[in-house]
Structure 1
Amino acid sequence: MKAFNTTICNLVLALGLGSNLLSLPAAAQQSVPATAAQQQQACACFEVKVVGEGPAVILIPGLASSGEVWQSTVEALKADYQLHIFTLAGFAGVKPIPMQSWGEGYLALQHQAILRYISEQQLDKPVIIGHSLGGYLALALAANAPEHISAAINVDGLPALGAMLGQSSSQSTAGAGDSKPQLQRGGFDPVAMAKSMANNEQWQQRIVADMYRSDGQTSGRVFGELMRADLRPQLASLRVPVLTLGALQHGAPYSTPEQVQKNYESQLANAPAAFHSFAFAHDSKHFIMADAPEWLNQHIQQFLSKQQG
C-alpha cells in the first residue's frame, strides 16, 4: 500500500497547491487567533445556491471543488427537496477567508458556520450530504451536532485521512511536506491527477478547472488540517442516521477494491451499526457523481425517503 499512499498524497497535495504551486512553509504559517465574534464577523465562509422546495438538504463539495459537482443530484432531488448547494470559501472562485480569521482552523470554522447558517435560515434539521472534505464535515456534524441535523450522507470521505496515508509523526507535523520537493522538481500533471479521481473526460476537465480557480494557500492548509484530523473516536457518539458511500476504484491500480472497502470499514468501525451503513460503488473513482451518477442518486434518494418515512 506504500506506493498507493505516496501517490494519493502527491495527488491531493497537487490539488491543494492549485495553479501557483505555493511553498508549503507559506501555507503552513500559523494564523493569529481570533475571537468567536471576530470569526463570525469576518467569515464569509461559503456561497450558497438554493434550489427546489421541501425538506432542507445541504450539499457540500470537496477540496477545491464547486457546488456544481452536485448538478445531477440537484436534478434528481429538486422536485422534492429544498437544496442548499454550497461552494466553500477559497475554492472554485469563491473568495478565501482571511487566514487571521481562521481561529482554531478552517474545518472548525466551517463546522460552526454551517450550524450558524442552519439557525439563521431556520432550517428544520436538514440532511447534510458531503463529498470528500464535505463528507468529513458531514460526519463531524453528525457526531458533534446531532440536535441540529436529521441525518448525513458521506460520499467518499474519511474520518482520518492521515491515518489512511500512514503518516509518521514527523510527516503529520509538516503536513505533507515530504511531497514538496517531488512537486518542485517535476511539477505535477493536473490532468493525470484528475484522471486518478474520475473516469469521465469532461469531469476530468471540470476538476482541473476548479483546481485552478481555487486559492492555493487555502487548499494547501486545509489539506494539512485534514491530514491531522481524526474523527474516529467521535463516531461512537452518532445518534442520527449516516450513510457512507465509498468508491472502490479510488485506490486503483495500487489497491484492490477489497482493500479499499476494508479500509473504509476500519476507519468507520466506531460508528454504531444502528446509525451507520455502507454502500460501495464498485466501478467508481473518487468522484462518484462523475463515474456512477445514477447509482449515487438512487442511494441518496432511498436514504432520504427513509428519513421522511
Structure 2
Amino acid sequence: VIGTGKPVILIPGLASPRAAWDGVAPELAKGHSVYLVQVNGFAGDDPRANLKPGLLNGVVADLATLIASRKLQAPAVVGHSMGGLVGLMLAARHPDSVGRLMVVDALPYFAVLMAPPGTAVTVESVTPRAAQMRDMVAASYGKAPSREAAEAQVATLTRKPEARARATEWAMAADPRVVAQALYEDLTTDMRGELKAIRTPVTLVYAWNERYPRKDPADAFFRAQFTGLANAEFVGIGDSAHFVMLDQPEAFRSALTAFLAK
C-alpha cells in the first residue's frame, strides 16, 4: 500500500507483476491509498495456493477479505487483462465491496477471441483446448526461461520497444505453472451472464491502432461484449496495443483521472 486518501486497488494481468502500474501508482499515491495487488507466482515469488484450481476465485476472495478487513469505503478497482476479469468477478459477486470499476483491455469472456467470426463459443466447447494450452505452458516449468519464447509471447501486446522489453522480463520471471492455471481459468470463466449483477459504474478502456484492432471495429466489438452492463462508459485509446498504460501513458492517466473524479 502506498499513499493516503481514497482507496484504489490496482490488479495486474496475466503473468504481470504489480510493477505493471509503475507509470500511474506514484502519482495516484499523492491523493489516494493505492493497493498494488501481486498475484503469487507472477513475479518469481512463492506460488503458494496458486498451483491449484480456483486461482481466480482465490484472488477475488482475498480482495473481498481485504476490503472488509481494512474497512475500505467504496474503493475504486482497476484491473488490466486478467485483472479486469477479476474486477468483474469481484463487482458481480461482492457488489457492496466495489465503488467503481475500470476494466482495461479485458473481456467478460476472453475465449470469444478464439472463435471464428460469427460462431458462438461456450465454456464447454473451449475447455479441451484451454486444457491443452494449460498443460503446454506448465510443461516449461523447471527449464531455463526462453527469452525468444517470451519475446514472441509479448510481441503483439505492446507497440513500444522499451515496454516490450519490460513485458518480456515479466513473462520470464513468472512461474509457468501459475501462468498455465491462470490462463486456463481465464479461458473457462464466462462472466457475460453475470454482468447484470454489477451495480457499480464501469469504465471500459480498450486499445485500438491503425492495424489491429482498428477504431471502429474495436468500438463495436467492446460494446457488443458488455451489453449486459447497466452503467458503462467506453474509452478507446488509439495507437496502443494490449498494454494500454505502457503504450499511451498520458492518455491512460487522463482516463484514470477522469474515472476517479466521478
- Code of the residue aligned with 2:227 in structure 1: it is A
User: Which residues in structure 2 correspond to 1:117-266 (within 5 Å)?
Assistant: 117-166=66-115, 169-175=124-130, 177=132, 189-249=149-209, 253=211, 255-266=213-224
Cα distance, 1:65 vs structure 2: 0.4
2: CA distance between counterparts of 1:158 and 1:228? Answer: 12
Superposition TM-score, scaled by structure 1 size: 0.74
Q: Which residue of 2 aligns with 1:112?
A: 61
Cα distance, 1:178 vs structure 2: 6.9
Q: How many pairs align?
A: 247
Q: Determine which of 51, 70, 73 is the counterpart of 2:24.
A: 73
Query: In the superposition, relative to structure 1, how do residues 303 and 260 fare at CA in structure 2: closer, same or farther (>3 Å)?
Result: same
Q: Which residue of 2 aligns with 1:36?
A: none
Query: In the superposition, relative to structure 1, how do residues 88 and 149 fare at CA in structure 2: closer, same or farther (>3 Å)?
Result: same
- SS of corresponding position for 1:76: helix
- Code of the residue aligned with 1:79 in structure 2: it is K
CA-atom RMSD, angstroms? 2.3
Cα distance, 1:256 vs structure 2: 3.4
Q: Is the 8 A contact 1:57 1:129 kept in 2?
A: yes
1:64-90 deviation per Cα after TM superposition (whole angstroms, max 9, x unaligned): 101111112113311111101111111
Query: In the superposition, relative to structure 1, how do residues 177 and 115 fare at CA in structure 2: closer, same or farther (>3 Å)?
Result: same
More displaced stretch, 295-304 vs 120-129: 120-129
- SS of corresponding position for 2:45: coil
Q: Which residue of 2 aligns with 1:44?
A: none
- SS of corresponding position for 2:186: helix
- SS of corresponding position for 1:115: helix
More displaced stretch, 209-218 vs 160-169: 160-169
Q: Is the 8 A contact 1:135 1:158 kept in 2?
A: yes
- SS of corresponding position for 2:48: coil
User: Which residues in structure 2 correspond to 1:35-54 (within 5 Å)?
Assistant: 50-54=1-5
Cα distance, 1:180 vs structure 2: 7.9
1: CA distance between counterparts of 2:55 and 2:134? Answer: 22
2: CA distance between counterparts of 1:295 and 1:254? Answer: 19
Q: Is the 8 A contact 1:171 1:178 kept in 2?
A: no
Q: Is the 8 A contact 2:49 2:55 kept in 1?
A: no
Cα distance, 1:281 vs structure 2: 0.6
Q: Which runs of 5+ in 2 are unaligned?
A: 116-120, 140-145
Q: Determine which of 14, 18, 27 is the counterpart of 1:63.
A: 14
Q: Is the 8 A contact 1:61 1:70 kept in 2?
A: yes
Cα distance, 1:218 vs structure 2: 1.0
Q: Is the 8 A contact 2:92 2:194 kept in 1?
A: yes
Q: Is the 8 A contact 1:153 1:243 kept in 2?
A: yes
| Aligned sequence identity (%) | 26
Query: In the superposition, relative to structure 1, how do residues 119 and 145 fare at CA in structure 2: closer, same or farther (>3 Å)?
Result: same
1:152-180 deviation per Cα after TM superposition (whole angstroms, max 9, x unaligned): 11011111011232157554234162798
Superposition TM-score, scaled by structure 2 size: 0.86
